[in-house]
Each structure stands twice: as C-alpha cells, then as structure tokens.
Amino acid sequence: MRQFTYERATSAASAAAAVADNGNAKFIAGGTNLLDLMKLEIETPTHLIDVNGLGLDKIEATEKGGLKIGALVRNTDLAADERVRRDYGVLTRALVAGASGQLRNKATTAGNLLQRTRCPYFYDTNQPCNKRQPGSGCSAIGGVTRQLGIVGVSDQCIATHPSDMAVAMRALDATVETVKSDGVTRSIPIADFHRLPGDTPHIETALDQGEIITAVTLPPPVAGRHVYRKVRDRASYAFALVSVAAIVRPDGTGRVALGGVAHKPWRVEAAEADMPNGAATVMRKLLDGARTTEENEFKVTLAERTLAGILEETKG
C-alpha cells in the first residue's frame, strides 16, 4: 500500500471542497472496498478524508411519506430498521443477501452504491483494463466472462455493478442526494446515478469530482409482495450471477430490476406492463439487445427462470 495522509471531515461541503481541489484525494466511509483496492494499488489516493463523523447516520421519515437514509447508515442498521423491514422489504432482503454480517456492520449506504466492479481483470494489475487504466484495453472481452455483463455493455467494458442494495433501490425509484464543493445540492434519480460503460468505463457515476453523497431518499412505499432473489455460485458470501428485485401486486402487475447483468442496476419500466403475461415476455423486453458470450448466455435463461419463480410464488 502506498503512503497517504488522513483527515476527519467536519462538514459535508468542506469535505467536498477538499476532494474537488485535490484529484488524488478520496472520501473514506466503512473502507471495506476502498482499503482493499488501495492494498492492491488499484486505487492510489494520496489523501483520505474520513466522512464518518458528519452525522449522516440517521434514517428519517420524509414529509412526502418516504424515508431519508443518511449516507453513513450502515448496511446492517438499514436492513434492520423496522420501517424498512415493514414497508421496503425488497431493500432489507437485498441488503442481507450481500457480503457478510461483519462487512455489513461497516459498509455504508453511500459506499455500497460506489463500490467498484468485481471483474477479475480489474483486480489483476498485470492485465489491461480500460476501467483501471483508460485506453489500455479490455481483457475480459475474449477472456473469462461467466460473471460479466450481458446488457448495456460496450466494446470497451463488459463489467457488472456488484451491489445488491442498489438493485432494490432501483426498483424502489430511490434518489441520491449530494452536495458539491460550492454547497450546491443535487437530487439524482438512481436510474441516472450509475452510468453505462460506453467509451469511458472509468467514469462510473453521475457524480462530479468532490461531490459527496449525503443521503438516499426513498419515495412512499410501493404496495405488493417485495422479493429479492440472488442466484450465485455459493450459498453465501458471493456476488450475484443474476439477482432479481421484484415488487408484485396481487393482480400480477409490479416492478422488476436485475442485478449481475449490467454496469448498473438494470430496469426497463416498459417491460413491467408484461408482468401479468409471464417472465418470458418480460425478459424479452428487459434484456432486449443483450450481447452474450458462450460463457454467460446462461444468464438470460437464469434471469427468466428466477423471475418466473417469483411470479409463481407471489400469485394471488
């Protein structure tokens, strides 16, 4: 690990300004992703700004009937919150499907959204990777692709976003609240928060340099059965091959978002009208234009069968 300096932030705006002014500075929250990447010298910040003391660790009711989740709320606390368990079950289920108890005790809401891909070539510093080193090439294309993306991919990158929590938040239409170095705040719909790789896979979100996440806001609860089903190679402590976050009403209508298939949580609202007609019809629209490899084409069938199982279970 390379040497770095460290400070504790005293306000969100001053933390944002410090990172905006220094391209080699980064925020640190739970550190469960950033420190791993620093040990491997994939991330090499020279200055860390610890945001844990900013008091952004509360879950509060909003005037509109939703919830405002502070950026520093730990994944464990979010999953266990009575209101989240009762009204946003898909979110609790997604959170507890991720990582391990110990990691969830440290991992924060903002850090979880910003965790980096688990593409094996991103972690192998001997291999070209456009995300790690822009312009160096993509080792995954023509390489081992079982875990990688099938939709929204580009000729520069086929990585997936690894967060479970973000998939549930996409199904819930969450909004990411931020503040910039000049104090200007933004509310970014989660649909627009994560980017597709295109020609710039190293740019992963809509955040500007130094822009800090202060909270994630959930709209009022969405009625229906809330399900999160994650399919993976091991029963626990593994990232999704495919995951499905679904909210299904008694008449079969609802919402569905996928994890493990794209560079961002994947949702196509137009596909949801077909939920009463069955999983195959939904998946045709949801995965329209999918670009698979021999090794990962199974994800199309897996996603369809996972949704079919959910629709069967939630019938009536």
Ligand X SMILES: Cc1cc2nc3c(=O)[nH]c(=O)nc-3n(C[C@H](O)[C@H](O)[C@H](O)COP(=O)(O)OP(=O)(O)OC[C@H]3O[C@@H](n4cnc5c(N)ncnc54)[C@H](O)[C@@H]3O)c2cc1C
Binding-site ranges for ligand X (CB under 6 A): 26-34, 36, 51, 71, 98-99, 103, 106-108, 110-112, 114-115, 162-165, 212-213, 239
> CB of residue 23 vs ligand SF4: minimum separation in angstroms?
21
DSSP class of residue 64? T
Confirm or reject binding of residue 152 to ligand SF4 (CB under 6 A). no
Per-residue tokens: 149: 């993306």
> CB of residue 291 vs ligand SF4: minimum separation in angstroms?
12
Taking alpha carbons only, the member of 275, 255, 277 closest to residue 267 is 255
Strands 212-218 vs 242-248: parallel, antiparallel or unpaired = unpaired
Instruction: Compare residues 89 and 149 and give the one whose CB is closer to ligand SF4.
Output: 149
DSSP class of residue 76? H
Confirm or reject binding of residue 107 to ligand SF4 (CB under 6 A). no
Instruction: Compare residues 131 and 230 and give the one whose CB is closer to ligand SF4.
Output: 131
CB 48 within 8 A of CB 6: yes
> CB of residue 294 vs ligand X: minimum separation in angstroms?
25
CB 28 within 8 A of CB 50: yes
Q: What whole-number distance in Å separates Cα of residue 206 and Cα of residue 194?
A: 6
Would you give the binding string for ligand SF4 spanning residues 112-131, x where CB under 6 A is met?
A: -----x-x-xx------xxx
> CB of residue 35 vs ligand SF4: minimum separation in angstroms?
20
Binding partner of 239, given ligand X, ligand SF4, none, CB within 5-8 angstroms per partner class: ligand X
Residue with tokens 């009463």: 276
Residues numbered 198-237 forming contacts with ligand SF4, rule: CB under 6 A: 201
Binding partner of 213, given ligand X, ligand SF4, none, CB within 5-8 angstroms per partner class: ligand X
The amino acid sitting at 233 is D
Q: What whole-number distance in Å separates Cα of residue 38 and Cα of residue 68?
A: 31
The amino acid sitting at 279 is A
Q: Is 254 helix (H, G, I), strand (E, B) or coil?
A: strand
Instruction: Compare residues 256 and 262 and give the one whose CB is closer to ligand SF4.
Output: 262
Confirm or reject binding of residue 239 to ligand SF4 (CB under 6 A). no
Tell me the residue length of the chain: 316
Instruction: Compare residues 56 and 67 and give the one whose CB is closer to ligand X.
Output: 56
Q: What whole-number distance in Å separates Cα of residue 304 and Cα of residue 254?
A: 16
Binding partner of 98, given ligand X, ligand SF4, none, CB within 5-8 angstroms per partner class: ligand X
Binding partner of 25, given ligand X, ligand SF4, none, CB within 5-8 angstroms per partner class: none
Instruction: Compare residues 180 and 299 and give the one whose CB is closer to ligand SF4.
Output: 299
Q: What whole-number distance in Å separates Cα of residue 86 and Cα of residue 254?
A: 18
> Residue numbers of the site for ligand SF4 (CB under 6 A)?
117, 119, 121-122, 129-131, 138-140, 157-159, 201
